[in-house]
Amino acid sequence: MSRKRTVYTAEFKTRLVLEVLKEEKTLVEIASANKITPLNLRIGRRYFLQMRNWQWSLVKL
């Protein structure tokens, strides 16, 4: 029997990525506290930073 895939909200993902970026705890500590894999956090952080750079490139000063 297969396990149902967990879907996380955007707010949850953003909160975790911001927590990782604060660097108060390690990525592994944050992942284990929230019962997700460290790989998911690494991917989320990379995506978050890429999107941030993309948004700033659209701003015309």
pLDDT of residue 7: 87
Structure tokens at 32: 């284990």
- Let me know: does 35 contact 59? Beta carbons within 8 Å: no
- Domain spans of the chain? 10-58
CA within 13 Å, CB half, 60? 0
Any idea what the Cα angle at residue 11 is, between residues 40 and 45, rounded to 5°? 35
Cα separation, 60 vs 45, whole angstroms = 25
Per-residue pLDDT of the chain (61 residues; tens, 9 = 90+): 688 888 889 899 889 999 999 999 999 999 999 999 999 999 999 988 888 776 656 555 5
- Residue 22: predicted pLDDT: 93
